[in-house]
Amino acid sequence: MTSPGAPGAPGAPGAPPRLGGADGLLTPADVRTLAAELGVRPTKKRGQNFLIDPNTVRRIVRLLGLRGGETVLEIGPGLGSLTLGLLPAAGSVVAVEIDDVLAAALPSTAARALPADAARRLRVLHIDGLALRPADLAAGPPDGAPGPEVLAANLPYNVAVPLLLTVLERFPTIRSGLVMVQAEVADRLTAAPGGRIYGAPSAKLAWYAEAHPAGPVPRAVFWPVPGVDSSLVEVRRRPVPMPDAARADVFAAVDAAFAQRRKTLRAALSGWAGSAAAAERIALAASVDPSARGETLDIAAFARLAQAREQLTAPTDGS
């Protein structure tokens, strides 16, 4: 499952040729060369669109603002374009890759492109990002490394939202990050209450973090060129609005409100609350207008609804 960085000696007899430019970043030609060497053909099933532009890599690393000692969790490193930009700037990088061939090749790619001291900071986990848990990071080197503090990810469009929410839930040590997602998904993740595109993903992400747009990413920086636009989303951890044990109930209220977003909370929350009358009582107790719609509520309001529901349905002494 795991594979520590293993620097080699590019240029030695029989060794593969060195990769990357002066700063070790992969060029478009390097990406295609690597893919040919590995027999890799990008697949739509896994959302594989490989980053081929060194300037985009530099931009992402700059926006992450790494200070040099952080542990970066990278989801979906692919052929390693972003990984090679992260390694010199980070204390260590844990790269999570689901593809067998890509996971096995990544340490060698780092060794061919970077100085040994940077390449050895890499650890590769061959696992689905949705299945990743803290125990997977604790099972190998670097010994004594802290939990990941920074997230960097090029997320497959079809699983971007659940993957991001899962990682933030399971790794509370992550304080900030930058994720690349489909532009429409980025708009939803960063939408504010009251807008047409504000919905369940917006509210749920707000439980964990503040999210802000960090700029578009041109289609031409990927190979193959995707059929949709991409954007960067910056996330910064913030305190949860309620004890985390209440999260499931809060998220259930969010799901109910947006499952029928044209309906008022009185109607949309009736199943979650038990009846329309109960939903109205809960809303009033939470200082929320029962005739409002879910799209007008921020995550703090949903938290108050869950808290009010718990208080109104709790058994009284002697019952």
- Every domain of the chain and the residues it spans: 2-237, 246-313
Question: 2-237: what CATH class?
Answer: alpha beta
pLDDT digits (tens, 9 = 90+) for 160-175: 999 999 999 999 999 9
pLDDT at 46 over 90: no
Q: Among residues 1, 7, 2, which one has the least CA distance to residue 121?
A: 7
pLDDT at 130 over 70: yes
Q: Among residues 103, 72, 106, which one has the least CA distance to residue 87?
A: 72
Q: Which residue has the tokens 């700029």?
A: 215
Q: Tell me the mean pLDDT in the region 276-280.
A: 97
- Indicate the pTM of the whole model: 0.90
Q: Among residues 188, 185, 183, 181, which one has the least CA distance to residue 295?
A: 188
pLDDT at 224 over 80: yes
pLDDT, residue 181, reads 95
Span 246-313 CATH architecture: Orthogonal Bundle (1.10)
Q: Tell me the mean pLDDT in the region 180-206.
A: 96
Q: Among residues 100, 124, 99, 101, which one has the least CA distance to residue 111?
A: 124
Q: How many CB atoms lie within 10 A of CB 39?
A: 7
C-alpha 215/C-alpha 231 separation (Å) is: 6
Q: Which residues of 1-10 are buried (b: 16+ CB within 10 A; e: fewer)?
A: eebebebeee
pLDDT, residue 24, reads 92
pLDDT, residue 10, reads 54
pLDDT at 61 over 60: yes
pLDDT, residue 144, reads 55
pLDDT at 262 over 70: yes
pLDDT, residue 170, reads 96
pLDDT, residue 313, reads 83
